[in-house]
Amino acid sequence: MNPRAKKAKPLDGFKLEVEFTNGEIRRFDVTPLLSYPVYQPLKEKAYFQRVFVSQGIVQWPNEVDISPDLLYLDSQQVA
């Protein structure tokens, strides 16, 4: 089982900086997800900025979320 998100910070270019429960900080590019209808609201910058973490899952107020496993496996570790 992959670690879960602890904190999420929105970055420019539809990227997230996520701190995981194992202490790693990783960057995830949300751009590829924006073509799916459920993620369309995230194209609005102000809405994208409203990201939060609940129970280890990165979410937005409309209950859109990103799987913790996808988030971890498809992200790049920050040096």
- In this prediction, residue 1 carries a pLDDT of 78
Amino acid at site 11: L
- In this prediction, residue 63 carries a pLDDT of 86
Report pLDDT digits (tens) over 2-60: 899 999 999 999 999 999 999 999 999 999 999 999 999 999 999 999 999 999 999 99
Answer yes or no: is pLDDT of 70 > 80: yes
Q: d(Cα 79, Cα 77) in Å, to the nearest integer?
A: 6
Positive or negative torsion for Cα 8, 19, 5, 71: positive
Q: Which residue's structure tokens are 């590829």?
A: 32
> Which numeric CATH code is attached to 5-77?
3.30.2020.10
User: Where exactly are the structural domains of the chain?
Assistant: 5-77
Q: Average pLDDT in the 60-76 region? A: 94
Contacts 24+ apart (CB under 8 A), 45-50: 48/10, 48/14, 49/10
